[in-house]
Chain A
């Protein structure tokens, strides 16, 4: 606690404030003591004055008492009373606790003074009272009594003469008594009373004959005695009161007033002395406190300077230096426990941080450098990558060109070779070579497609096409492959699908083909079912086409299933080894589906088979008829003879076969009468052989009989075809084939003998002279051979430059077949030059191994009339030539 500078400063401040307060208090006390002393002193002066006045008044009192005693002056009494009032007032003033400068002793003195004073007053009243009684007694007392006695004797003397001696004695004694009284009045003395008493006794001793007179005189004498006794009593009392009691009171009063004056004076002195002492002490205390304050302030200042300001300045300098980034070797005050210590430690931390910051900064710089180099490396890498990508694209394009060009040669030559009669064994080799070439081309195409998709260069076409053709191609490919493995294929199309849609037929076909091919590829036995479902939206302009390909193949595990859409990945390596393939198929399918805004999902049970579901949104034309709308329906009585229907339920309902009309073929044979239309399932050749006779009989009787067969190999198919001429359909079949089949059943036609026109090479003969611009010798030979076989003559130009010169030199060509990729001058340049040179009407057909779509567009852009992709197919060439050559 105390180690904190804050606390220390607060303590110092508190001490200073306390000192100030104490000093203030002392000054205040000093002042109040002084003012009290002053007040007491001035009060004491007043008190002393009052006491002196008291003394004067008391002496005046005594004077007046004496005056009264002497002549009973009423004015003395008045004066006495007034003095009394004034004295009492002064005593009260002195006793007033507010103005009283004295203490308990004084009040005791004062109370005694009061007592004496009131006693004095009381006694004076008695004196007055006694004086009046004394005056009464002087008038009506002993003297008048004696006078009365004298008169009595005078009267008696007049009435009856008394002896002169008696009269004289009487007068003498009365005179003696009167003398005693008067002298007593002048100066009280017991001897005079004795004289009086003796005189009275003497008077009493005078014998008086007259009894009445005697008793009267005696009474009067008695009264005179009593009156004198009273007089003496009053006189004594008065004397006692005045001379003893009152004088004593006055004495004591004066003594007490002197005491009071002394007390007041001594008190004043002591107050003054005390005041002086207190003032001195206060001054001394004040000085001490001032000294202490100054010392403390100095100490505080020194403390502040040495303990706080100095260190703070030092620390500030340290911080300044730190902020300037200078290195601090040692920091002062580090070991202190207070705020300075904290500051020093903070400075230390700051310094450490500075060092850390510096090292961090250098590290950061280093890192930055590294980052910059990394960045540049990255940029370089990016550029490299971009270059690589570009190179890859170029490479791919080149590859496509470079591979296709020889492949074209190979395929073309094989095709040409096959058209010549060769031994069977050679023909077999050629077939295998052709097959291998086809596989190689498809691999190349896959890689190319993938590259294009990866490069974002693949464009989805939006063209109107018929699903029928898609189905035909699909069936042709899938069925062919399935038949080779004796797999049953079911192809089921929902009637809700409309035939004409807008989209990219090639890519859709590619998707279906790919998945269908996979299904076949990974299925060893069982069947493959391909379903087309679809629903048209409420507006009727969008078909959500769902394609479900279900197989009973090897299936996949969950893990495998999760990986199948990744590029270059098959279910696993073992699969790859066993089944081959690039692993790009499903990746391409997935990417194409995504590009078309559709979705692709797969479920699989290992060992049981897989199901792939593709959904594609396709725009459709409104108000189209359904795909089965044209399929004829059977009369309701028609029967479907089967034990296990090969015809899907949905197809049954399309042709109006009800469940009640389905029965076993043997059951049908036992029927008496059969309907006019019969659909019969032939699940196997044995069933066919058993029933063919009966079926022929029925047909002969005019019954319309249509046979539905499972997928069979081409050999068995030929057998069926030869043994049954009536309507016949085999799985898989397209809606169009089904429609055709049903039409035959309804119309009861027999099939014409069909020939495989595809296998017969059309013998085409054309006339014309064309320029073949081709740098590759093999391709010159292949294309040239095709042209020769078509009966067309041609010149060859090795590059664009030659082509332009030849045409300019001999402008008699009917058409130019222009390879686009050539040395010296490519096809585009040559075309541009030719068009520029005025050969605007000369048909120029571009030839390119580059399968990319934009190549065709580029060709059109530079002025070419059309475009053929290598390897050039004979048919495509014929069509192209027929189209552009003038006949």
Chain B
């Protein structure tokens, strides 16, 4: 299920602008005479359906691109029910099972992917480095390969269920100016989310596939509970976990459950919370507003997520070709560099390196202090000189995944318990 719904309102505005631009470009499209300019319909969330990307892609590919952004649940429901409504679907790895089982998407042929070989081992072996730990739950390499029996598994075949592209690790952020001194000196830990010293100042993302793992990691770090497999909690484990959480909730430990990135920014900005589940863009946004929020690199490891780009089962011939063009474009370098500036990683980072300055590369991928002020996608300085990403380099971060965003077998039950928890 989606790691972030309604990620940002800015891209929506950009989209509207872009839609107008679309009309213009549709009229002057430099496509072959007699052959209508093909239109690629992309369904997904705001995380990747950004107007700059659309414009850039249209210019590069000479096609029309239609973005259909929406809330995670909504788009997932629509996509799984009606594959003809889209050509490409962009979301998160935790939605792939639903799409695959509903046969809304078709396998993607590796041979048609220009840069397949450049894609790193995260989705191939699950380890970006030799020493990397495999995160619990639905690690991308476990759900990408289309097995011979039609299921998804680790065995490599000629086809894959999604194009690996955008991915990142998440943790929690905390406001250093509002933080207890004792904790500051300690090593960052998920356990802080349940620390009594922060009671009433904790925010959690309102999504059981994400927030539940934050809380589970926290409870485990605190030693309240231990899981057999944190990526596949049993009903009993859920009951135990939620009994603790509900207890805390009734003690008003949790200040709120946010449902969008702007809301998480608002939580922190208004000092409603001192610590909360966070996504990378929210941290950037707060930092650019001079709010000293630190994106933690918890000793227990990160919660990872992986973006998926899926081909509609209804996409055939021309629209399928265009869809492949777009998929290949995404890995052609510029888009990776573009999202790198938002803190996201691309699956073939080397190709994007040339679109980044050395300083950018060093900061975003190498985890080195910024040798100069770095600008965000909007052209505004988002990273001051000397700043350093928490958690180190790309390899460091992805070698330390505690759990991936996952739809567990006890998903329905967790939903029930989540409801009890947040309304308690």
Residues of A bordering B, CB below 8 Å: 62, 108, 112, 116, 119, 126, 188-191, 229-230, 233, 235-237, 239-245, 247-252, 255
Of the candidate stretches B34-42, B218-226, B412-420, the one touching chain A is B412-420
Which of A230, A236, A249 has most chain B Cβ within 10 Å?
A236
Give the 8 A-B CB pairs with smallest separation, nearest first.
A243-B419, A248-B206, A188-B412, A190-B409, A239-B415, A243-B415, A247-B419, A248-B257
Please report the C-alpha to C-alpha distance between residue A247 and residue B206 in the assembled complex, in whole angstroms.
9
Residue pair A126, B257 in contact (C-beta under 8 Å): no
- Taking the nearest CB of chain B, how far is it from the CB of A295, in angstroms? 50
Please report the C-alpha to C-alpha distance between residue A119 and residue B410 in the assembled complex, in whole angstroms.
26
Please report the C-alpha to C-alpha distance between residue A251 and residue B254 in the assembled complex, in whole angstroms.
12
Interface bits B87-130 vs A (CB < 8 Å: 1, else 0): 00000000000100110000000000000000000000000000
Q: Of the candidates B77, B258, B409, B418, which one forms a contact with A244 in the assembled complex, judged by CB atoms under 8 Å apart?
A: B418
Please report the C-alpha to C-alpha distance between residue A247 and residue B416 in the assembled complex, in whole angstroms.
11
Known: A249-B259, A252-B257. A237 touches B415 (CB 8 A): no
CB closest residue in chain B, given A254:
B423
B interface, size bucket: 20 to 34
Residue pair B101, A190 in contact (C-beta under 8 Å): no
- Taking the nearest CB of chain A, how far is it from the CB of B139, in angstroms? 19
Q: Is the C-beta of B208 less than 8 angstroms from some C-beta in chain A?
A: yes
A–B pairs, 22, beta carbons within 8 Å = A126-B74, A188-B412, A188-B413, A189-B410, A190-B412, A233-B77, A237-B76, A237-B77, A240-B415, A242-B419, A243-B418, A244-B415, A244-B419, A245-B73, A245-B206, A247-B418, A247-B419, A247-B423, A251-B256, A251-B257, A252-B259, A255-B256
Please report the C-alpha to C-alpha distance between residue A467 and residue B62 in the assembled complex, in whole angstroms.
158
CB closest residue in chain B, given A246:
B419
Known: A188-B412, A190-B411, A249-B259. A233 touches B418 (CB 8 A): no
SS class, residues of chain B in contact with chain A:
helix
Residues of chain B with a CB closer than 8 A to A244's CB = 206-208, 415, 418-419, 422
Known: A233-B80, A244-B419, A247-B419. A189 touches B413 (CB 8 A): yes
Q: Is the C-beta of B325 less than 8 angstroms from some C-beta in chain A?
A: no
Within 8 A of A (CB), among B135-172: none
Please report the C-alpha to C-alpha distance between residue A233 and residue B1 in the assembled complex, in whole angstroms.
12
- Taking the nearest CB of chain B, how far is it from the CB of A241, in angstroms? 6
Please report the C-alpha to C-alpha distance between residue A560 and residue B83 in the assembled complex, in whole angstroms.
157
Please report the C-alpha to C-alpha distance between residue A528 and residue B415 in the assembled complex, in whole angstroms.
174
Please report the C-alpha to C-alpha distance between residue A116 and residue B256 in the assembled complex, in whole angstroms.
14
Residues of chain B with a CB closer than 8 A to A189's CB = 410, 412-413
Residue pair B73, A240 in contact (C-beta under 8 Å): yes
Q: Of the candidates B101, B256, B259, B412, which one forms a contact with A239 in the assembled complex, judged by CB atoms under 8 Å apart?
A: B412
Q: Of the candidates A229, A233, A239, A250, which one forms a contact with B416 in the assembled complex, judged by CB atoms under 8 Å apart?
A: A239
Q: Of the candidates A229, A242, A245, which one forms a contact with B259 in the assembled complex, judged by CB atoms under 8 Å apart?
A: A245
CB closest residue in chain B, given A248:
B206
Q: Is the C-beta of B188 less than 8 angstroms from some C-beta in chain A?
A: no
Residues of chain A with a CB closer than 8 A to B71's CB = 119
Interface bits B380-424 vs A (CB < 8 Å: 1, else 0): 000000000000000000000000000001111101101100110
Q: Is the C-beta of B266 less than 8 angstroms from some C-beta in chain A?
A: yes
Please report the C-alpha to C-alpha distance between residue A126 and residue B73 in the assembled complex, in whole angstroms.
10
Q: Is the C-beta of B82 less than 8 angstroms from some C-beta in chain A?
A: no
Residues of chain B with a CB closer than 8 A to A229's CB = 101-102
Residue pair A236, B259 in contact (C-beta under 8 Å): no
- Taking the nearest CB of chain A, how far is it from the CB of B339, in angstroms? 26
Residues of chain A with a CB closer than 8 A to B76's CB = 237
Residue pair B422, A247 in contact (C-beta under 8 Å): yes
Residue pair B419, A252 in contact (C-beta under 8 Å): no
Q: Of the candidates A112, A237, A251, which one forms a contact with B73 in the assembled complex, judged by CB atoms under 8 Å apart?
A: A237
Please report the C-alpha to C-alpha distance between residue A237 and residue B208 in the assembled complex, in whole angstroms.
13
Please report the C-alpha to C-alpha distance between residue A126 and residue B72 in the assembled complex, in whole angstroms.
13
CB closest residue in chain B, given A105:
B270
Please report the C-alpha to C-alpha distance between residue A608 and residue B418 in the assembled complex, in whole angstroms.
165
Given contacts A189-B412, A239-B412, A247-B423, 10 further A-B contacts (CB under 8 A): A119-B259, A189-B410, A229-B102, A230-B102, A240-B1, A243-B415, A244-B206, A244-B422, A248-B206, A250-B423
CB closest residue in chain B, given A245:
B73
Please report the C-alpha to C-alpha distance between residue A250 and residue B419 in the assembled complex, in whole angstroms.
11
Please report the C-alpha to C-alpha distance between residue A442 and residue B196 in the assembled complex, in whole angstroms.
168
CB closest residue in chain A, given B212:
A244
Residues of chain A with a CB closer than 8 A to B208's CB = 240, 244
Interface bits B260-286 vs A (CB < 8 Å: 1, else 0): 000100100000000000000000000
- Taking the nearest CB of chain A, how far is it from the CB of B320, in angstroms? 24
Which of B101, B258, B259 has most chain A Cβ within 10 Å?
B259
Residues of chain A with a CB closer than 8 A to B412's CB = 188-190, 235-236, 239
Residues of chain B with a CB closer than 8 A to A237's CB = 73, 76-77
Residue pair A233, B98 in contact (C-beta under 8 Å): yes
Residue pair A248, B80 in contact (C-beta under 8 Å): no
Residues of chain B with a CB closer than 8 A to A241's CB = 73
Residue pair A248, B259 in contact (C-beta under 8 Å): yes
Residues of chain B with a CB closer than 8 A to A252's CB = 206, 256-259, 263
Within 8 A of A (CB), among B54-75: 71, 73-74
- Taking the nearest CB of chain B, how far is it from the CB of A194, in angstroms? 8
Please report the C-alpha to C-alpha distance between residue A126 and residue B376 in the assembled complex, in whole angstroms.
37
CB closest residue in chain A, given B254:
A251
Please report the C-alpha to C-alpha distance between residue A242 and residue B415 in the assembled complex, in whole angstroms.
9
Residues of chain B with a CB closer than 8 A to A126's CB = 74, 77
CB closest residue in chain B, given A130:
B77
CB closest residue in chain B, given A129:
B77
Which of A189, A191, A241 has most chain B Cβ within 10 Å?
A189
Residue pair A112, B101 in contact (C-beta under 8 Å): no
Known: A233-B98, A245-B259. A190 touches B410 (CB 8 A): yes
Please report the C-alpha to C-alpha distance between residue A12 and residue B210 in the assembled complex, in whole angstroms.
78
CB closest residue in chain A, given B9:
A115
Please report the C-alpha to C-alpha distance between residue A216 and residue B170 in the assembled complex, in whole angstroms.
50
Please report the C-alpha to C-alpha distance between residue A191 and residue B415 in the assembled complex, in whole angstroms.
15
Residue pair A236, B423 in contact (C-beta under 8 Å): no
Residues of chain B with a CB closer than 8 A to A243's CB = 415-416, 418-419
Residues of chain B with a CB closer than 8 A to A235's CB = 412
Residues of chain A with a CB closer than 8 A to B80's CB = 233
- Taking the nearest CB of chain B, how far is it from the CB of A126, in angstroms? 7
Please report the C-alpha to C-alpha distance between residue A242 and residue B416 in the assembled complex, in whole angstroms.
9
CB closest residue in chain A, given B205:
A248
Known: A236-B411, A240-B1, A243-B416. A251 touches B422 (CB 8 A): yes
Residues of chain B with a CB closer than 8 A to A112's CB = 263, 266
Known: A240-B415, A244-B415. A251 touches B423 (CB 8 A): yes
Interface bits B207-244 vs A (CB < 8 Å: 1, else 0): 11000000000000000000000000000000000000
Residue pair B415, A236 in contact (C-beta under 8 Å): yes
Residues of chain A with a CB closer than 8 A to B257's CB = 248, 251-252
Please report the C-alpha to C-alpha distance between residue A242 and residue B419 in the assembled complex, in whole angstroms.
8
